[in-house]
Amino acid sequence: MSVDVDETFALGGDLPVRRLGLGTGGLVGAGYWGPRAERPASVALLRTAVARGVTLIDTADNYGPHLAEELVAEALHPYGEDLVVSTKGGVVRTGPDEWHAAGRPEELRAMCEASLRRLRLDRIDLYQLHRFDPAVPPAEQLGTLAELRAEGKIRHIGLNTVTADQLREALSVVPVASVQNPYNLLDRSSAELLALCEERGIAFLPYYPLGSGALTRESAAALTAVAAEHGASTGQIALAWLLRHSPVLCPTPGTGSPDHLAENLDAATVQLTPQEVSLLNGLAE
């Protein structure tokens, strides 16, 4: 017997997406700086993902910086009616792996409007605060996003790298449609946050769903045994487990490789049994 899985999730209650999406961090260079591949190859990969049924594209203004958003627009605009493009603001990148939070109202507003131009959109479906700026009161940052939402520039608000307490505080100020935090087979540090998202019907977009590649190399006997049973890779099993672990988890693994893209998307077809899920649940212990 396999574990039944809902294939879609309604972001904000009104935007249905297929739960296995595509992140665009893999389209830019090391440290999220510059290009990773020739532009036509990245454009082709984005188009292939959508042709394969991906309806959630997750990007950010500081990937490149700006490059990932430009690639999304070049590849996919005009966007299909069922395609949801999510982006992030609130971080300024100054070099490879160098960034700082920028959450003053004028900064967030300028970032959002620049993303609208790059993505060729009148409204961003999901706009996520990439980090809370410790120098700016959280209510002030959230208030700016609420204003942008009221102006019709963003549809739904999301948060990136938060605690459960920060999400509770945010929910007292604005509706929150999504969070992004690390979560995978080996890293369950955001378990409390995940439980809160389940309670409130909030999407949880786990970043590093493959542990930055660690899970594709993981040699734990349980993981390799389950992979062998399904004729799948360990990475596919890790993604299949996320889809079955919680109905609000919406992984968006990134890649610049067409072969890896196909492998990731095929993970949605892996039907884990309850016994296999239980076995994999124990990997983080």
- Find out whether 268 and 241 touch, Cβ atoms under 8 Å: no
CA 272 to chain centre: 23
- Nearest Cα neighbor of 112 from 98, 134, 128 is 128
For residue 24, the one-letter residue type is T
Catalytic residue among 63, 183, 207, 208: 63
Q: Taking the alpha carbons of 6, 10, 16, 20 in that order, is the dihedral positive or negative? A: negative
The strand pair at 203-204 and 124-129 is best described as unpaired
Q: What is the distance between the alpha carbons of residues 76 and 67, in angstroms, rounded to a whole number?
A: 14
Q: What is the distance between the alpha carbons of residues 218 and 234, in angstroms, rounded to a whole number?
A: 7
Please give the DSSP secondary-structure letter assigned to residue 137.
-
63 in catalytic set: yes
- Find out whether 179 and 202 touch, Cβ atoms under 8 Å: yes
Q: Which residues make Cβ contacts (< 8 Å) with residue 227, sequence separation at least 6? A: 233, 234, 236, 237
Locate 19 and state its tokens: 């739960």
Residues in the chain: 285
Catalytic residues: 63
